[in-house]
Amino acid sequence: MRPIHYVSSEILSLGLIKDIIEENKAIALSDEAILNINKSHEYLQEKIKNDDSPVYGINTGFGSLCNVKISSEHLSKLQENLVMSHACGTGDLVPKPIVKLMLLLKIQSLSYGFSGIQLQTVERLIDFYNNDVLPVVYTQGSLGASGDLAPLAHMSLPLLGKGEVHTEDGFMPASEILEEHGWQPLALQAKEGLALLNGTQFMSAYGVHCLLKAHKLSYLADLIGAVSVDAFDCNMSPFNELVHIVRPHRGQIKTAQLILEFLEGSEIGASENKKVQDPYSFRCIPQVHGATKDTLTFVTKTFKTEINSVTDNPNIFRNEDQIISGGNFHGQPLALGLDYLGIAMAELGNISERRTFQLVSGARELPQFLVNNPGLNSGFMIPQYTAASIVSANKQLATPASVDSIVSSNGQEDHVSMGANSATQCLRIIDNVETILAIELMNASQAIAFRKPKKSSEFVESFLGHYRDGVPFVDEDRLLADDMHASIGFLQSFSIENDILFD
């Protein structure tokens, strides 16, 4: 039987989300969530019936049209029009795993009972999630301020039987998938369109996806860096805990510990006649990788708060008998966090490429470009070019999007976060870092083979043994693009336990 995750006030963490994804858990509402949703909806309906005072987005227009009063008979049409008119996304398609995260995070936010949405609407979002009915959403269109309006509108269109959804072979009209499942299009009630569209679930879903991958790549950067340390026959003294106790950044200490653990028992590491000092890309792994770890900790905390929050507008406080229009949809915390994460991850790629450069340089008794008969063979000359090209691209992508703001909605929305652009840039950086690390691993595994008969640690030798199943030693020139793709695939398939990943 498929395991179930019950949406409730239980805190969503990265580890819990990873488990939900990997175990393909179905989603269901807890009794607590059902009660909260129903009470909020009933309160709002009663409020509308007994009080015709203007309340933003419930019986008024949107944005700079907030002063236009809407009559009670048009409240449902108002919400439907909102979803249709705001579905103005363009650009690339949002990856399906991120669309699924958008659904999960929107369900979570609506479950707290501060949104006034009807239970049926949340249950249909759950139907979409559980049946992999994934709306077609585009990457461009959100300013990351009034919520992720355009992406969330595209996510919501299929609720109305409009828009498109993904299939194995492409797309199909949402109306057809509803008919296939026997679902009727929803008639949105007051405030529901706003509850669906206002919110940070596009930025949040990208952030969660990026963080899950970034935590994994942070660990792999340490492991691959350790392979390179032995491959370059480095001095182990920079990893001595005494060095890091006197500058006790948590990430720095943790990185040094991991490098020592990975290389414990290494014959290469224990050998004498080491150079007095090694290049910074090896010697300063704890300081550089550690700083990225500390950034990950900060950004993880930011997103943990966000995905367990209410981010639509206005907020309904039934116990206090108040409906308040605020700004919880503004993505500034996420925009800054995503930019910071992108910069930190780009640095993992930057230092990785420098280690690759050193490994192919012909130093430390390694052959030039890590191949027998250099000259006849070019060996690993060009993978370093590729890594350098990607590192350069990351430097451009790491330019913060959050420092920009463009006035919209006739000046009503006069400061925006641009967090959606931060989100898509961040993912591109992280995907690029994966490739850069895969190239370093190709080079480090090749270089360490030239250290035989000396061996690295038992842990590293086992790791490289599994790697060699898909990426054999290069005796002479061959199509290295195939090896690069296999190396990327190896990293993608590499599994790490939660207690290690999120330590």
Q: Could you tell me the CATH number of the domain that includes residue 409?
A: 1.20.200.10
Instruction: Kindly report the length of the chain.
Output: 503
* Alpha-helical regions (H) of 370-494: 381-397, 419-449, 458-468, 480-493
Q: Report if residue 319 sits inside a domain.
A: no
pLDDT (tens digit per residue) in 56-67: 667 776 666 666
Q: How far apart are CA 383 and CA 439, in angstroms?
A: 7
Q: How far apart are CA 165 and CA 177, in angstroms?
A: 8
pLDDT (tens digit per residue) in 442-485: 999 999 999 999 999 999 999 999 999 999 999 999 999 999 99
Give the mean model confidence (pLDDT) for residues 208-221. Answer: 98
pTM of the full structure: 0.96
Which pLDDT score, from 0 to 100, does residue 67 have? Answer: 67
Which pLDDT score, from 0 to 100, does residue 172 have? Answer: 96
Q: Report if residue 36 sits inside a domain.
A: yes
238 in the same domain as 192: no
* Phi, psi of 140, rounded to the nearest 5 degrees: -105, 140
Residues whose CB is less than 8 angstroms from the CB of residue 493 and which lie 6 or more positions away in sequence, other chains included: none
Is residue 50 very low, low, confident or very high in pLDDT (cuts 50, 70, 90)? Answer: confident
Is residue 102 very low, low, confident or very high in pLDDT (cuts 50, 70, 90)? Answer: very high
Which pLDDT score, from 0 to 100, does residue 58 have? Answer: 73
The CA-atom distances, in angstroms, between 503 and each of 104, 204, 212, 227, 300 are 24, 21, 13, 22, 12
279 in the same domain as 146: no
pLDDT (tens digit per residue) in 155-201: 999 999 999 999 988 999 999 999 999 999 999 988 899 999 999 99
Q: Report if residue 322 sits inside a domain.
A: no
Helices 119-130, 31-50: crossing angle, 10 deg rounding: 140
- pLDDT > 70 in the chain, percent: 97
pLDDT (tens digit per residue) in 2-47: 999 999 988 999 999 999 999 999 999 999 999 999 999 999 998 8
Q: Which of 199, 231, 246 is the last residue of a domain?
A: 199
pLDDT (tens digit per residue) in 246-287: 999 999 999 999 999 999 999 999 988 788 899 999 999 999
Which pLDDT score, from 0 to 100, does residue 156 have? Answer: 98
Which pLDDT score, from 0 to 100, does residue 134 have? Answer: 98
Chain centroid offset of residue 63 CA:
29
Comparison of pLDDT for 77 and 469, the residue scoring more? 469
Which pLDDT score, from 0 to 100, does residue 65 have? Answer: 65
Domain of 155, in residue numbers: 4-199
Q: 49-58, 263-272, 302-311: which range is least confident on average?
A: 49-58
220 in the same domain as 293: yes
Q: Which of 192, 168, 19 is nearest to 119 (CA)?
A: 192
Flag whether pLDDT at 75 surpasses 80: no
217 in the same domain as 70: no
Q: How many structural domains comprise the chain?
A: 2
177 in the same domain as 72: yes
| Residue 168, domain CATH | 1.10.275.10
Query: Helix or strand or coil: residue 321?
Result: coil
Q: Is 27 left (phi over 0), alpha (psi -120 to 50) or beta?
A: beta
Q: 145-149, 305-309, 385-389: which range is least confident on average?
A: 145-149
398 in the same domain as 271: yes
Q: How far apart are CA 108 and CA 487, in angstroms?
A: 37
- The answer to whether 337 and 303 have CB atoms below 8 angstroms apart is yes
Which pLDDT score, from 0 to 100, does residue 414 have? Answer: 86
Q: Which long-range contacts (CB under 8 A, 24 or more apart) does 361-366 make?
A: 363/232, 364/232, 364/233, 364/275, 365/233, 365/450, 366/231, 366/232, 366/447, 366/450
Q: Report if residue 243 sits inside a domain.
A: yes
Identify the active-site residue in 56, 129, 206, 340: 56
Mean pLDDT of the chain: 94
Residues in a beta bridge with 323: 316
Q: Which of 199, 227, 260 is the last residue of a domain?
A: 199
* Alpha-helical regions (H) of 65-162: 75-86, 96-110, 119-130, 149-156
Which pLDDT score, from 0 to 100, does residue 355 have? Answer: 98
Which pLDDT score, from 0 to 100, does residue 62 have? Answer: 65
The DSSP call for residue 27 is: E
121 in the same domain as 93: yes
Which pLDDT score, from 0 to 100, does residue 20 have? Answer: 97
Active site residue 280: no
265 in the same domain as 186: no
Give the mean model confidence (pLDDT) for residues 91-97. Answer: 98
Token code pair at residue 289? 């990788």
